[in-house]
């Protein structure tokens, strides 16, 4: 297996992408930040695929994610998957939960690069979550798997077959 990593110097952050030897993938480009908050691997298979793994900082996550998108703008294309811990609560649509400015900013950043939540596309009624706030009694999702809208439609079609 091939392992691509980005690690911070103080070991506070780190991300990795593991590619199985059983795939016919050949990396064409790897970019990582010094702090270990993201790594991007562009691979060539039958077509080029870009995988970006982000671990956003605990504060200012939407701003950080937008900056990553700006920094990697030339490398992000219609064949990409972005995964990771966005450290921004994205609540399930509920009357009791308000959508705050951080969530609006994250949704705006995802919309600008035409991304959707692949898990939500495949499981629209699922109540799975990755974060529960006991004081606020809210369920949220901070870990995400996103893809380009038109590519994600293919995933949904293949699931139904």
At 146, give phi and psi (nearest 5°): -120, 155
Structure tokens that stand for 29 in this block: 């480009």
pLDDT in tens, 77-131: 888 888 888 877 554 444 455 667 777 777 777 777 788 878 777 877 776 666 6
pLDDT in tens, 36-92: 999 999 988 777 889 999 998 888 888 898 899 889 988 888 888 888 888 775 544
Distance, in Å, from the CA atom of 68 to the CA atom of 54, rounded to the nearest integer, reads 9
Distance, in Å, from the CA atom of 95 to the CA atom of 161, rounded to the nearest integer, reads 34
Q: How confident is the model at residue 24 (pLDDT cuts 50, 70, 90)?
A: confident
**Strand 26-32 to 38-44 pairing:** antiparallel
Structure tokens that stand for 94 in this block: 């509920």
Coarse DSSP helix, strand, coil percentages of the chain, rounded to the nearest 5 percent? 25, 40, 35
- Cβ 118 vs Cβ 152: under 8 Å: yes
Say what the pLDDT of residue 98 is. Answer: 61
- Cβ 9 vs Cβ 33: under 8 Å: no
- Note the pTM of the prediction, 2 decimals: 0.75
Flag whether pLDDT at 137 surpasses 90: no
Name the residue among 72, 77, 68, 4 with its Cα closest to residue 37.
68
**Cα–Cα distance list, 15 to 33, 41, 85 (Å):** 10, 12, 10
Residue with the larger pLDDT of the pair 10 and 82: 82
């Amino acid at each position: 297996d091939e392992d691509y990593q980005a690690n911070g110097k103080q070991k506070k952050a780190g991300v990795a992408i593991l590619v199985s030897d059983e795939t016919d993938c050949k990396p064409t480009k790897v970019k990582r930040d010094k702090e270990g908050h993201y790594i991007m691997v562009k691979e060539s298979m039958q077509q080029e695929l870009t995988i970006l793994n982000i671990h956003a900082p605990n504060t200012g996550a939407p701003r950080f994610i937008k900056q990553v998108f700006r920094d990697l703008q030339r490398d992000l294309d219609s064949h990409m998957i972005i995964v990771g811990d966005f450290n921004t609560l994205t609540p399930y649509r509920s009357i009791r939960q308000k959508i705050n400015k951080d969530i609006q900013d994250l949704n705006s950043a995802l919309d600008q690069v035409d991304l959707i939540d692949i898990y939500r596309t495949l499981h629209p009624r699922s109540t799975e979550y990755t974060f529960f706030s006991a004081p606020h009694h809210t369920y949220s999702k901070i870990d995400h798997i996103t893809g380009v809208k038109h590519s994600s439609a293919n995933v949904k079609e293949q699931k139904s077959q």
